[in-house]
C-alpha cells in the first residue's frame, strides 16, 4: 500500500498541505476541517487506488515535526501513546580525500568508485590510472609508484584500498600485499609509498567529505 507524504504549514486559519508524492501540488483547506474529511481528499489528489471507496479504512494521517535539537530527550518531545517517530535518511555522497604530506599538490578528491591511482606512462596508453600520483612524487623517485598502483572503491559508505601494483605501499605502516583482501580506510589513516613507511617517498593522509 503506497504512503501519502504531506507537509503541513499553518498560517492563521488556513492549513497549507503539501503532497510530496504529487510533486509540489499544494492545496489549502480550512483549519477546522476534520481529519476524517481530509484523508479522502488527500487520497484523491494523490490518485491512490484503494480496495474500496472508504479511504479511512486504509489510511492513517501522521503529523510529524523535525527534531532540530539532538540534545533533547524523548521526555522533552512530549510523546503520547500512538505517536509515530519517522527517521528520514539524508542520502549523501561520501568522497575520499587523500591529503599529501608535501606542498607539491592539492588534496586528491576521489568521487568515483572504483578509482585506480598510479603513475601515468606515456608508452602504455591502455593501462593508465584514473588518477595520477606523478605530480606528487619527487623528480628522482618517479618510479616509486606503479602505473596501476592501487584501486580505491566505496561500498555502503565505506572506502577501501586494494593493492594492484608491485611498488611498496603501506597503510598505517602495515604493508599491503598483492592478492590480499582490501583494507578499509578510516579518517586520519596514513597511506605511504616506498620501502620504509617511516621515511616515505610520498605520504597521503585519509579524510572524507560529504556531498549532496
Tens of pLDDT, residue by residue over 95-123, are 999 999 866 678 999 999 999 999 987 77
pLDDT at 50 over 80: no
Please give the domain boundaries of the chain with CATH numbers for all domains.
6-77 (no CATH), 93-211 (2.60.200.20)
Which residues have a Cβ under 8 Å from the Cβ of 106 and sit 6 or more positions away?
none
Tens of pLDDT, residue by residue over 123-169, are 776 778 999 999 898 888 888 999 999 999 998 788 999 999 999 99
For the question of whether the overall pTM of this predicted structure is more than 0.95, the answer is: no
| Mean pLDDT rounded to a whole number for the chain | 77
Q: Is 165 in contact with 157 (CB distance < 8 Å)? A: no
H or E segment at 47? none
Tens of pLDDT, residue by residue over 61-88, are 665 666 777 787 767 767 666 555 665 5
3-class SS at 45?
A: helix
C-alpha cell at 147: 602505473
Amino acid at each position: 500500500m503506497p504512503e501519502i507524504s504531506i507537509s503541513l504549514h499553518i498560517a492563521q486559519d488556513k492549513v497549507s498541505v503539501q503532497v510530496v508524492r504529487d510533486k509540489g501540488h499544494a492545496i489549502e483547506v480550512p483549519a477546522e476541517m476534520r481529519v476524517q474529511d481530509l484523508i479522502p481528499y488527500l487520497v484523491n489528489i494523490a490518485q491512490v487506488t484503494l480496495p474500496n471507496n472508504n479511504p479511512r479504512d486504509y489510511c492513517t494521517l501522521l503529523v510529524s515535526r523535525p527534531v532540530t535539537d539532538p540534545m533533547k530527550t524523548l521526555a522533552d518531545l512530549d510523546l503520547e501513546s500512538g505517536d509515530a517517530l519517522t527517521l528520514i535518511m539524508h542520502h549523501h555522497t561520501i568522497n575520499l580525500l587523500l591529503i599529501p604530506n608535501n606542498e607539491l599538490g592539492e588534496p586528491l578528491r576521489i568521487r568515483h568508485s572504483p578509482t585506480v591511482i598510479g603513475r601515468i606512462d606515456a608508452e602504455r596508453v591502455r593501462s593508465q590510472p584514473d588518477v595520477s600520483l606523478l605530480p606528487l612524487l619527487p623528480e628522482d623517485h618517479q618510479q616509486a609508484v606503479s602505473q596501476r598502483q592501487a584501486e580505491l572503491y566505496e561500498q555502503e559508505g565505506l572506502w577501501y584500498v586494494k593493492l594492484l601494483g608491485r611498488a611498496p605501499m603501506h597503510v598505517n605502516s602495515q604493508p599491503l600485499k598483492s592478492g590480499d583482501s582490501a583494507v578499509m580506510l578510516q579518517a586520519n589513516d596514513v597511506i605511504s609509498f616506498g620501502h620504509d613507511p617511516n621515511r616515505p617517498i610520498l605520504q597521503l593522509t585519509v579524510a572524507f567529505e560529504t556531498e549532496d
